Amino acid sequence: MPQRFFLVSLALPLCGCKASSESTCDPCDTQPGLTGEAEVQLREVLAARRSTDYAAPFGPNPITVEDVEAIAWAAQGVTLPDVPTHWPGVKGLRTAPSAGATYPLDLYVVAERVTGLEQGAYHYVPANDALESTGVTGPLAEAVAQIRRDEYPASDPKVFSDAAAIFILTDTFQRTSDKYGPWADLYIAIETGHVGQNILLMATARGLAHRPWGAMGTDAREQLAELLNLSADELLDEATRPGCYQPSGSKALHWPLYFIGVGQKP
């Protein structure tokens, strides 16, 4: 199948990629360099990437847990596990670059219609390449859409209500401001773009529809943090997290920045 072939081929130099288990060879044994063929296939993915229709974004069928795992790994998967980060005791460089290896971003997933994954909100833990429940279960996509409708009634956020899964990038500002002070805002925004594009490209490579969504006000972002219990913090412990950034007095450690609805093509 061309699509499967292309995923495996992109994954070849990257030991630890979930797609490797679908391969007939073990990429971790060989670690070959990138080939001209890989460039051709990467160009195909880049050329195919397109945001789905705002008004009718997704088909009704579910996506699979393998889709979610592949997208999560593309976003924040660890590719060099033994290399130290900025944080003492925390090792593992990831698929996307990070200013000073400070890793301010976290990835959460709302699984709505995902075969093999119970409905609910999950946190991706890069060190374990695992999705962990935030403790919030059941259908959530409509509630996410309603938060947007409440703040802007003219909005028709089918990108949330009809999504099979919603990928949410959050940041912990202090992780990066600790090293870069006032540069942190800029660096975190740049990193969100890197990680967001990885999500979009893996969704595209797997034949899925997507649409990124930035429009969400301060109150709505705080409501989302509450709804989905975006409070996990696997990177820093209390000793290295003296004063976390708290937008508008929010208690949330993780500030939702960017949202990407994913589903089958309409």
Ligand X SMILES: Cc1cc2nc3c(=O)[nH]c(=O)nc-3n(C[C@H](O)[C@H](O)[C@H](O)COP(=O)(O)O)c2cc1C
Which listed residue (136, 212, 233, 246) binds ligand X by CB under 6 A? 212
Which CB, 141 or 235, lies closer to ligand X?
A: 141
The kind and range of the H/E element at 168 are strand 165-171
Asked if 50 interacts with ligand X (CB under 6 A), we say: yes
Which listed residue (37, 56, 215, 217) binds ligand X by CB under 6 A? 215
Give yes or no for a contact between 168 and 108, defined as CB atoms under 8 angstroms apart. Answer: yes
Give yes or no for a contact between 112 and 141, defined as CB atoms under 8 angstroms apart. Answer: yes
The CA distance from 132 to 117, in Å, is: 11
Q: Which of these segments, 36-44, 70-78, 210-218, 226-234, binds ligand X (CB under 6 A)?
A: 210-218
Residue nearest to ligand X (CB): 214
Q: Which residues within the stretch 65-94 sit at the binding site for ligand X (CB under 6 A)?
A: none
Q: Which of these segments, 50-58, 59-67, 137-145, 219-227, binds ligand X (CB under 6 A)?
A: 50-58
What is the residue-wise DSSP string for 48-105? H--PPPSSS---SS-EEHHHHHHHHHHHH-EEEEEEE-SSTT-EEEESS--GGG---E
Asked if 214 interacts with ligand X (CB under 6 A), we say: yes
Q: How far is the CB of 78 from ligand X (least distance, A)?
A: 26
Q: Which of these segments, 99-107, 116-124, 167-175, 211-219, binds ligand X (CB under 6 A)?
A: 211-219
Which listed residue (16, 18, 42, 51) binds ligand X by CB under 6 A? 51
The CA distance from 251 to 223, in Å, is: 11
Tokens (6 digits) for 116: 């093999």
CB count within 10 Å of CB 17 equals: 24
Asked if 148 interacts with ligand X (CB under 6 A), we say: no
Q: Which of these segments, 19-27, 48-56, 97-105, 249-257, binds ligand X (CB under 6 A)?
A: 48-56
Give yes or no for a contact between 121 and 254, defined as CB atoms under 8 angstroms apart. Answer: no
Which CB, 119 or 197, lies closer to ligand X?
A: 197
Residue with tokens 């972002």: 221
Which CB, 4 or 50, lies closer to ligand X?
A: 50
Q: Measured at the alpha carbon of residue 225, what is the angle toward residues 59 and 169, in degrees to the nearest 5? A: 60
Q: Which of these segments, 63-71, 99-107, 171-179, 213-221, binds ligand X (CB under 6 A)?
A: 213-221
The site for ligand X (CB under 6 A) is made up of 50-51, 54, 159, 211-215
